[in-house]
Amino acid sequence: MYKTHGSHWGAFEARAQDNRVVDIRPLAGDPDPSPILGGMAEGVHHDCRVKAPAIREGWLKHRDRARGGGRFVEVPWDEALDIVAEELRRVKDAHGNEAIFAGSYGWSSAGRFHHAKTQMQRFLNCFGGYTAQKHSYSLAAGLAILPHIVGDLAPLRGLTSWASIAEATDTLVAFGGIPIRNTQVEPGGTASHTTVPWLKKLAARGTHVVSITPLRNDTPDFLNPEWIAPRPNTDVALMLGLAHTLVSEDLHNPHFLAAHAVGGEQFLAYVMGGADGQAKSADWAADICDVPADTIRTLARRMAAGRTMIATSYSLQRGDHGEQTFWMTMALACLLGQIGLPGGGFGFGYGSMHGQGNPVPKMPSLTHSAGTNPTGSFIPVARVTDLLLNPGGEYDFDGERRTYPDTKLIYWCGGNPFHHHQDLNRLLDGWRRPDTVIVNEPWWTPTAKLADIVLPATTTLERNDIGHSSRDRFLVAMKQIVTPQFQSKNDFDIFRGLAQRLDIEAAFTEGRDEDAWLRHLYDQAREGAGPLANRMPDFDAFWEQGILELDAPEKPHVVYEGFRADPAANPLPTPSGRFEIFSETIAGFGYDDCPGHPVWREPAEWLGGQTAKTWPLHLISNQPKHKLHSQLDFVGPSRAAKQDGREPVFLSPGDARARSIQDGDLVRLFNGRGETLAVAVISDDVRDGVAQLPTGAWFDPADWAGSSSLERHGNPNVLTLDKGTSKLGQGPISHTTLVEVEKFNGQAESPEPFRVPEVVVLPAAE
């Protein structure tokens, strides 16, 4: 019998036989299901599952910090939980709760109850708190800048819908493209992948799409896009060149600026050269971007001639000074003056995830509360290594001067920082500083291999849950397909066991088990759904039904429509009530790397800088096509896409020829931070001067016990720069990375990213 279930890459039906998952099939009504589903069944039963609680022998016997070396010892659950509880209590008593770092960043489950990060944070909040992470690796710079310049996250969370764009947009200018590989995924999942059908409506209407990205395939061919390929990290300069053309040719809308924005005078003085003596003309931008000036001028004229939507991808703000990309997008849209019109204005993240631009009903998101962190302690999300290496160090963040706490214990669950963090060799050094690292994990990921205590967690198919996204109109009954495999436990049950030992069980569980929590969360959402509540049956009927579809709004959503019509009656939640092209607040921070209006600042590494003489290729480490981040890297489509067990790196024909590299050659990517091996694929879709190595390969250093050894699997984050975007956002800048690539002629060891460490059972003490 097939049962409904869900994942971040889509809802599906699954069938088991003899407690093994034997088939997974997408929902019949999904117009564009994700092939990532193909690896899920194998993943449940794979040899790299963590099969029992395991403690690194060196830590168990000597409390050493030699993570990555030595074997693990299998221990009974009760003993493992006793040890973890004792260690948590020791650190709290000796150093305070701030010494527990538990950001636990990750996308472990589409289920809203068995969400590993939430379960961990709820448990630790009941325990007195911890040091958390603020914002996300996807959007840290954007999340920092938007509240200052538009007042909230409307251009992220309430985008103008695809329906409006399909009906009204003449020109869609996509900085970063519209990469449909990313639209397989939505936090909480979806039962109907609709991005491609919407884009085909744009194509049928004849919308002109301009894809501005170093990668041609960032936008699908069926849109017949115009491809403009600037140097990476120069989009702000290109936008400034567009702005200069609009103003100098009197194509901008001064009336919109006067009524709906503040700071236009200061910004235009900068654009036209009055502020610093340098006009930001198309010719100026052309020298920086390596895009012809006539191309820039022609695009500006096209944008002013019809209804234009400016779509900027999340990826742009994951570069040095990433805040400027979002700020400049808003400023450029203000100059055009089409914000609040159907199909016009700006938005962030179209193509970055499935839900962006979806028509969705308004209802409260179905979420499990983590509660409040009593310590209030946090770090910017991507400053993990700085935290670990610099206890007591001071740093600037969003107008505050802050101090890193002294971390004694890391507790990670539901994520893999040795996938998504930058400069992994530096992280490895920091990871060995705390006394203890504890991980809840279904598989022997790199993070699990580098832990002291590993507790085996269930996969999503081994438990009941509810799938839902605030940007989707479906609720999915995620029904248990098989019982917990090996000795694995749900994260909820792991933390309940710890809570019992620490005398906080009542606060953590509120007297509810899994079933009671699912009913409670569903009923809460139903009670807050307003008119939609009539479409929501009681819990038992929903569970029997499996999939609940709510009605989408009939009218296409247009962000800022009310503000455009009457800015006095519908002000923005900014200090001025308007778009802040100049922000007095940000200017008051006095940051040299993020002044009071959008500016071009040279990145720390880029193809126009001095560093390019040594490292002449710009690394683009985009999201992968065959997996979500590093999830399911070891099975299904992801493993099939590897070549000789390694990730492919895409090079232009010219760059490959200059290095005598042939298609299929084993190559070494390297810079001053690290080196990795990959297999060359020569592609016309990559701009000259760019090496494209998608993220997601499990970290596989040749020497696990050491540091800075050759990474054998194709993980780009051994190369990326670990620096904040600016003092304002302190976001990651993985897309600001220069490298060199050469044919590898040495003796290459076979990669072993999915090798399970040695786990032994010690004889019982007499």
Could you tell me which of 335, 231, 353, 341 has the C-alpha nearest to residue 288? 231
Query: Under CATH, which architecture does the 610-743 domain have?
Result: Beta Barrel (2.40)
CATH classification (class only), 147-361+557-589: alpha beta
Segment 495-519, tens digit of pLDDT? 999 999 999 999 999 999 999 999 9
Chain region(s) in the chain for CATH 3.40.50.740: 3-136+365-549
Per the CB < 8 A criterion, the answer to whether 493 and 513 are in contact is no
DSSP, collapsed to helix, strand or coil, labels residue 753 as coil
DSSP, collapsed to helix, strand or coil, labels residue 312 as strand
pLDDT at position 447: 98
Pairing of strands 72-74, 759-760: parallel
Which residue in 107, 350, 395, 411 is the catalytic one? 107
Segment 91-110, tens digit of pLDDT? 999 999 999 999 777 788 99
Chain region(s) in the chain for CATH 3.40.228.10: 147-361+557-589
Pairing of strands 648-651, 675-682: parallel
Segment 544-567, tens digit of pLDDT? 999 999 988 889 999 999 999 999
Backbone angles phi, psi at 497, to 5 degrees: -65, -40
Res 766 pLDDT > 50: no
Res 765 pLDDT > 80: no
* Residue in the structure block whose two tokens are 């009204």: 168
What is the SS3 string spanning 604-643?
CCCCCCHHHHCCCEEEECCCCCCCECCECCCCHHHHHHCE
**In 377-452, where do the E strands start and end?**
378-380, 394-397, 400-403, 409-413, 436-441
| CA–CA distance, 411 with 88 (Å, rounded to integer) | 10
Which residue in 9, 105, 137, 522 is the catalytic one? 105
| Mean per-residue pLDDT of the chain | 97
Who contacts 674 (Cβ-Cβ below 8 Å, separation ≥6)?
423, 424, 425, 708, 711, 718, 719
Residue 713 DSSP class: S
| CA–CA distance, 374 with 376 (Å, rounded to integer) | 6
Chain region(s) in the chain for CATH 2.40.40.20: 610-743
Span 276-297, mean pLDDT?
99
Query: What would the two tokens of residue 252 be?
Result: 């901008």
Q: Which residues of 646-670 are buried (b: 16+ CB within 10 A; e: fewer)?
A: bbbbbbbeebbeebebeeebbbbbb
Has 443 been annotated as catalytic? no
Could you tell me which of 179, 156, 155 has the C-alpha nearest to residue 624? 179
What is the SS3 string spanning 456-494?
EECCHHHCCEEEECCCCCEEEEECCCCCCCCCCECHHHH
DSSP, collapsed to helix, strand or coil, labels residue 58 as helix
Has 105 been annotated as catalytic? yes
Res 764 pLDDT > 70: no
Res 248 pLDDT > 60: yes
DSSP H or E run through 255:
helix 254-260
Query: Under CATH, which architecture does the 3-136+365-549 domain have?
Result: 3-Layer(aba) Sandwich (3.40)
Dihedral sign, Cα of residue 518, residue 523, residue 526, residue 527: negative
Segment 361-381, tens digit of pLDDT? 777 778 899 999 999 999 999
Q: What is the pTM of this model?
A: 0.97
| CA–CA distance, 20 with 157 (Å, rounded to integer) | 39
Torsion of CA 437, 707, 457, 380, to 10 degrees: 70
Segment 562-585, tens digit of pLDDT? 999 999 999 999 999 999 999 999
Segment 38-55, tens digit of pLDDT? 999 999 999 999 999 999
| CA–CA distance, 375 with 130 (Å, rounded to integer) | 6
Per the CB < 8 A criterion, the answer to whether 456 and 494 are in contact is no
Could you tell me which of 184, 303, 284 has the C-alpha nearest to residue 236? 284
Query: From the CB of residue 107, how many other CB atoms can be counted at a distance below 10 Å?
Result: 21
Span 209-237, mean pLDDT?
99
